[in-house]
Structure 1
Amino acid sequence: MNIIDLFSGGGGLTEGFRQQGYNIMCHVEMDKNACDTLKTREAYYYLKEKKQLAIYASYLSGEISKVDFYRCIPAKYISKVLNYQISQNEFPNIINDINNLVGNKQVDGIIGGPPCQAYSTIGRARNNQIKGTDERVYLYKYYSLFLEEYTPNFFIFENVKGLLSYKDIFDEELLPKIIEEFESKGYDVYYKLLNSAEYGVPQKRERLFIFGIKKNLDINARAFFEKLLDYREAYISINDLFFDLPEVNAGETKNDYSKNTPVPFVKKNLRCSNKYLTLNTSRPNNRRDKMIYELVVKAKNSGKRLKYNELPNFLKTHKNEEYFLDRFKCLNENECSHTVVAHISKDGHYYIHPSLRQNRSITVREAARIQTFPDNYYFESNRTSAFKQIGNAVPVYLANKIAKTIRNMFYF
């Protein structure tokens, strides 16, 4: 089935659909680095099909530049990635570019979710002051225009849990208006809050998914979520997820696997071969951070969560001991991860590695594994951008199951 991918980000949702055999006709994304990530992934799949992955390996190892790497790929694959901010001014240009890519082919599905910051409960008081002028609040209207333009058989719209309670400038709940908007385009629509951990993703991550299917098809939207329940499974622990990765100190990069045998989940879904461990880079941390991390890990091991006001005075940098006391958090090696969010691009204090020997925050690759990106998935073009893309993504393993459920609804 042919898919248009909107608000693509780093491509977690797209990757899950591609793994299930969908044809990604184009991506629309405003962030330049994320676009380069998508182009690199398009290049990977082209080279894989042509049995020329040695070129991909040469790029990852730094033997050839990005420019030379892209020159090895036919332009029609790279041009599938459209670098646009979806807006009123750009909408006609986006449609024109998509039409040039799609041609006369049927668009079977549209997937994606607009930026979530506007709906998030974090910073809501601040966002309430600008909701009248914040275009992100109403990006769903452009999503609706894409539905009207291409009339796909289905769509998947993903966003944060906060959308359930978000109120617009009229102090009215926005979600019912979004549902009504999509229904007006001829779709049966249903929504549900999904926790990735219930579907085998090693991360507790709740996100809202809206599924729509054409009303003239003999399938209802609620059935999608009912069928998706068949793919629930237990998650693996952080210890198992990281078991075959090397030990890394703060500020180090180690792109060689350890001698430990990967657990079956990792071997099947994440570690595609022994060749492609990249971005296993940890942030450098100062002496103070390391001392705090050590205290946080020790507290975690004793079953306690260490708060900021409980730190020794010489480790504190400000006098605010009433708010935001949970600034430091360690992963539980015997459980799955807490939610990875885009703030990880700013610092790693909320994602401290559980190993006292390593005493650091998690690497880019470890964060990507928590989001179930394969190890051969490369994020452009720097550590900060990679963390941001990972934190904003839909977990690939969940996306795969969503794609599989939809495919089975159409092709029994």
Structure 2
Amino acid sequence: MDGIAQKIARIRAGAKPRVLDLFAGCGGLSLGFHAVGYALRAAVEFDPDAARSHGLNFHGGDSRHSVARDITVTHPEDLTAELELGPVADAFDVIVGGPPCQAFARVGRPKLREIDAHPQAFRHDPRARLYQEYLRYVDAFQPLAVLVENVPDVLNHGGQNIAGEICEVLEQKGYVCGYTLLNAAFYGVPQMRERMFLIALRRELGRKVSFPEPTHWAVLPPGYEGSRSVALKLLNGQVGDAHDYLEPPAVTPDFPAAVTAEQALHDLPPIFARRQLASGELKRGARRFDEPVAYPKLRTLSAYARLMRSWPGFEAPAEGVRDHVIRYLPRDYELFARLNPGDQYPEAYRHALAMLDERIAGFKQKGFTVRKGSAEYERLRASIVPPYDVNKFPNKWRKMWRDQPARTLMAHLGKDSYSHIHYDSEQARTISVREAARLQSFPDGFVFCGTMNPAFRQIGNAVPPLMARALAETIMTALRGIEAQDDHVGHRTAAAI
């Protein structure tokens, strides 16, 4: 019996599939696969804070699993030796991860094939290197299944369909492939996050690629439909002939409504930013996670909040949450309070100018005149009005709606959080680290290493664990050889949210 057949026999006899998470971040994909019963054996992550988070959450802080690793210098043999995982070809059954799309950009289909056939020829090409290493890991570990996640633009990156090209290469290696676009809001995540997912299965499994059935319904705003249209532009009119593209499973209004921002966040401790600023409790400086904040006593919790507090193995700490911290933005708290749901930077700018006029009028009533253009006027304006060009950054700010899922959390949360201003005008602030985690479906017992900015970056970069869980269940069905209509406990749980 060859290695592939042995892996299939082992899993179909009841053993847990063994996972390697590449470009793992803090572990959004890992958490989803862990929840379904996979064994997480290793991860490769370049960022030190994210690597520490992954090691702490999935390996109890074992120093060997908390080390930042560069995939370009950490080869499969190095990884298995360092972690004592045994023979390379038998170390893993599943590889998951998302190489940064820059790894594929502008390389071109013929060049991708040449890289795969002659890896030494392009060792120093930064555009190809990560892709090359990803293929090296697939070749070495011979997984039964591969999951790739990336932004929708990989379907039309400068006129290049990267997902289709990945499938071509993997099919030459013995896999059946399929890719599509899925929105996390349709899978119980309180966030309208659209991503490309590609699944590859060894032909020996005898299964076709499929994607998980949605559990929730939402009406996506025009911006999401527009982005999807751009991504699918290369496929329009020829979807039936497109290489391995599969239409996403249908979503209908008969499904439960998508989880809203308020359902996701309502039970977390309120942070009244203006009040804390006035009292001196909120100060400038690094935000560390060393002080727990108790949950408020509420009579009822949303089903989603209950799930976030009771996720098996990541239950909420008894003493409360430690990373419920916000940015120090003293100029803007009063402005946040004035914004209406859905307001973006142009509206915020107009509100700020009105606040400036009101302040000047107040001085005039007291007998003081602040002349436009004076040094005093400029100082007053700088203390109220944000300096950004209203024409260049219209989407830089947004106040969330309480009765809708949040818009996509991005990696730049690590630099600022204006894209997600809290819906509660009394709190008048941007979201906290723990609230960002909730919007990504990270449970309250999941720990992020580092201070506030690295934690925001880890969260913004992650795959939502509930989205990952749905994909993990679908892949498990193929690995086990189970019929698709068999009971899916995770889907039933998600549908109840």
Identity %: 30
- SS in structure 1 opposite 2:157? coil
Matched, 1:406 2:391: no
Q: Aligned in 2, Cα 1:319/1:202: closer, same or farther, shift over 3 Å?
A: closer
1:82 Cα deviation after fit: 4.7
Alpha-carbon deviation of 1:184?
Answer: 1.8
Aligned match of 1:101: 85
Partner in structure 2 of residue 249 of structure 1: 272
Distance 2:101 2:207 in 1: 29
Is residue 2:180 matched to residue 1:111?
no
Deviation at 1:16, TM superposition (A): 0.7
Whether 2:182 is the aligned partner of 1:194: answer yes
Q: Which runs of 5+ in 1 are unaligned?
A: 45-69, 71-76, 121-132
Q: What CA distance in whole angstroms lies between the structure 2 residues aligned with 1:359 and 1:156? A: 40
Conserved? CA contact 1:27–1:82, under 8 Å? no
CA deviations on 1:49-96 (whole Å, 9 max, x unpaired) are xxxxxxxxxxxxxxxxxxxxx5xxxxxx44234521111x44366445
Cα deviation, residue 26, structure 1? 0.5
Could you tell me which residue of structure 2 aligns to residue 368 of structure 1?
A: 437
Distance across 2 between alignment mates of 1:79 and 1:111: 20
Three-state SS of the structure 2 residue aligned to 1:182 is: helix
Equivalent of 2:39 in 17, 23, 45: 23
Conserved 8 A contact 1:309-1:325: no
What is the aligned partner in structure 1 of residue 296 from structure 2? 258
TM-superposition CA deviations, 1:312-340 (whole Å, max 9, x none): 17344447332212321111111110001
Return closer, same or farther for 1:151/1:248 CA change in 2, 3 Å cut-off. same
Structure 1 pair 326–316 and aligned structure 2 pair: CA distance change class (3 A): farther
TM-score by length of 1: 0.79
Write the distance in 2 (CA, Å) between the matches of 1:319 and 1:262: 39
Give the RMSD, CA atoms, in angstroms.
Answer: 2.7
The structure with the largest alpha-carbon Rg is 2
Aligned CA distance change for structure 1 residues 349 and 13 (closer, same or farther; 3 Å): same
Number of aligned residue pairs: 357
The aligned counterpart of 2:334 is 291
Equivalent residue number for residue 260 of structure 2: 237
SS at match of 1:322: coil
- For residues 262 and 254 of structure 1, the distance between their equivalents in structure 2, rounded to whole angstroms, comes to 20
Q: In the aligned structure 2, how far is the partner of 1:262 from the partner of 1:116?
A: 39
Gap change, CA 1:249 and 1:172, over 3 Å in 2: same
Partner of residue 158, structure 1: 149
Equivalent residue number for residue 68 of structure 2: 83
State how 1:2-41 maps to structure 2 within 5 Å.
Answer: 2-41=18-57
Greater displacement, 109-118 / 399-408: 109-118
Query: Do 1:16 and 1:399's aligned partners in 2 also have CA atoms closer than 8 Å?
Result: yes
Asked whether the 8 Å contact 1:114–1:139 carries over to 2, the reply is yes
**Cα distance in 2 for residues equivalent to 1:203 and 1:366:** 12
* Secondary structure in 1 matching 2:179: strand
Output one character per residue of 1:215-262: Cα deviation in whole Å (capped at 9) or x when no partner: 2221012xx21xx11655542211111121111133487621011132
Structure 2 residue identity aligned to 1:399:
A
Q: Structure 1 residues 328, 181: CA separation in 2 closer, same or farther (over 3 Å shift)?
A: same
Q: Which residue of 2 aligns with 1:73?
A: none
In structure 1, C-alpha distance between the alignment counterparts of 2:322 and 2:301, rounded to whole Å: 16
Uncovered stretches (5+) of structure 2, i.e. residues with no partner: 1-16, 106-123, 217-255, 274-281, 284-290, 357-380, 483-497
Structure 2 CA distance for aligned equivalents of residues 348 and 325 of structure 1: 15
Structure 1 residue 175 displacement after superposition: 3.2
d(CA) in 2 for partners of 1:82, 1:319: 39
Q: What letter is aligned with 2:304? A: F
